[in-house]
A and B are shown apart, each in its own frame.
Chain A
Amino acid sequence: LRLICTTTAVQRKNAGASGPEKYTEAFIKKQIEEFNLGKRHLANMMGEDPETFTQEDIDRAIAYLFPSGLFDKQARPMMKHPTEVFPEQRKIQWGEDGRPFHFLFYTGKQSYYSLMHETYEKFLNVQKHQDQLIAQDLPLQKEKRNLAGSRWLSKIELEEMLLEKLSDDDYSRFIQLLEKLVALPCADIEENYIRKFSKEVPVQLQKVVIEPLQYDEQGVAFSTGEGKRKTARATAVVYDNGTGKITVNGTDILHYFPVLQDREQLLFPFQFLGRIGKHDMVCTVSGGGRSAQAGAIRLASAKALRSFVTEKEVEFMRQAGLLTVDPRVKERKKPGQEGPRRKFTWKKR
């Protein structure tokens, strides 16, 4: 299954796990000393207090002293703490006599295997505790861990933690082991250890800010929303105390959308909230085809209705799929094929 949509985390390459160390520890120390000295000199030059010179001040000073018109921000002169510039890498794993420090060094993936060992040790620990409780006839705790609010560390994050490259298979085995551990009833003992590998997922709704209602000259409350679908862009203004009249680009919806399906889509948000005869709507739409325009207006009106409605209902609208931008667009034609999927007619000779 190839992913067309990738997050930035997936695309970012993990430099820390790329190979053995390129900078010695002494080198990094020297760089840090030089950075601190340079920071104080810079503060002196700018006439500020060297003790309270923060990273933002450094950035501003450098941008002032070395103005650069380069497009790429990464190519401009910068002065950052060496730990940000030189990625964290593994130090040399063997001593002067050539003997490696870690007992699993010759497996090739020492941190991964040591992690698996540790996790399995915790697993056996929990089982032992469970057996003890059963032997004493005490009840086992059955508190269910809330799965919805947390997720396991992704493969990239785990690689960063271990400073070692992992394969997909390794990663999935580790996650399976963690899940087995969590599934045991007495896993609460190892809660601290498990917490190192799980992350909180924030509730989706909190990411979006709902605008407050605006009032026009007559005192009627209204709210605007923008929506898009394929190439169509729409803006909708929803007025309160209305009769359910909907106007698109100056014409009534009955004339603009002769097809029933489009009109159904326009009324969908209102019908879902049960506010069909209560609002008036005036919208403008451009681009796309008939179905795309209807979808764009639907999204715009749903976004506008958010201001009229309680938070719970906004959450219901989101779960009904009214507030998500539809990312589906026309797939491109590929070379060597007639269309996005259709291949040329196969001729034997």
Chain B
Amino acid sequence: PCRDTARALGHSPASLVPCRIMPVRWSRYNPSYLEPEVKKESYEKPLEELSEEEREQMELKTVRPIKAAPPTLSSSVFSDPMISKFTNMMMKSGNKVLARSLMSQTLEAIKRKQLEKYHKAPENEKETIECNPYVIFHQALKNCQPIIGLSNITRGGKTYQVPVPLTDNRKRFLAMKWLITECRENKHRRTMMPEKLSQELLLAFNNEGPVIKKKHVLHKMAEANRAYAHFRWW
């Protein structure tokens, strides 16, 4: 139906990319508006290096209107879409200021811990220690992402847990959700969130810790329920 309404407004076929990020029900923007590209590097590339698809995409962008960049997105090196997503998930009752300060304190804590390890380590191991908190965050998140998930399918009155492949968005969401719930629940009353989060992230970076365990448990359950995999019809 969104394709038909888009077509009825006369939008050319090349723009009807299968919607990756569908608006909830409706958005204030006309469907012909494209997402903004904020990274400076993509504009510095000369014409020759682009592939066919990228060239088409560029031509399409010159003709179509573009949405406004949201306030969380910026071209500075410090803004990262993954970190913003994580900050939004940590946010409670719209208190973005607090969530963002917690996030920055977490990254600072990670950096401090890694620098301590770096200075204590012998010469030959110094290169293996990763100090960039962004890299650690991304890697930890990647390690926490499950590959396969379970979904409830009801057949003949009984509900079975059927192993099901997950989309990228869902994997990222589950990883972030697990990290946050883990940090909120399983900590001592007096520990601060940044401390606990940095601890969890470092453990996840080394493939240890409760979140990784949870991921493995999910994988084992999926493996155990392999027999029901044929219940899935999509």
Residue positions of A touching B, CB distance < 8 A? 1-5, 7, 9-10, 146-155, 157, 168-169, 171-172, 175, 179, 199, 201-205, 259-261, 264-265, 267-268, 271-272, 274, 291, 294-295, 299, 315-316, 318-322, 324-329
| Min distance, Cβ A171 to any Cβ of chain B, angstroms | 6
Across-interface contacts of A175 in B (CB, < 8 A): 7, 13
State whether A271 and B7 are in contact (beta carbons under 8 Å apart), knowing that A146-B59, A324-B66 are contacts in the complex.
no
Which label, helix, strand, loop or mixed, suits the secondary structure of the B interface?
Answer: loop
Chain B, interface size category, equals 35 or more
State whether A147 and B14 are in contact (beta carbons under 8 Å apart), knowing that A171-B7, A321-B66, A322-B69 are contacts in the complex.
yes
A268-B74 in contact (CB<8A): yes
Residues 37-53 of B at the A interface (beta carbon under 8 Å)? 37-38, 40, 43
B76-A267 in contact (CB<8A): yes
Q: B1 at the A/B interface (Cβ < 8 Å)?
A: yes
A324-B67 in contact (CB<8A): yes
Q: Which of A2, A151, A157 contacts B25 (CB 8 A)?
A: A2
B10-A157 in contact (CB<8A): yes
Residue of B nearest to A153 (CB): B10
B65-A272 in contact (CB<8A): no
A1-B68 in contact (CB<8A): no
Q: B116 at the A/B interface (Cβ < 8 Å)?
A: no
4 A-B pairs besides A149-B59, A324-B65 with CB distance below 8 A are: A147-B12, A148-B62, A172-B4, A271-B75
Give the distance in Å from the alpha carbon of A199 to the alpha carbon of B33 in the complex.
18
Across-interface contacts of B12 in A (CB, < 8 A): 147-148, 150-152, 201
Q: List 24 A-B contacts (CB under 8 A).
A: A1-B1, A1-B25, A1-B26, A1-B31, A4-B28, A147-B60, A148-B12, A152-B12, A154-B8, A155-B9, A169-B4, A171-B8, A175-B7, A175-B13, A203-B63, A204-B62, A260-B100, A265-B74, A267-B76, A299-B68, A320-B66, A321-B38, A321-B73, A328-B28
Between B5, B12, B72, B96, the greatest number of chain A beta carbons within 10 A of the residue's beta carbon is seen for B12
Q: B165 at the A/B interface (Cβ < 8 Å)?
A: no
Across-interface contacts of B66 in A (CB, < 8 A): 204, 318-321, 324
| Min distance, Cβ B188 to any Cβ of chain A, angstroms | 30
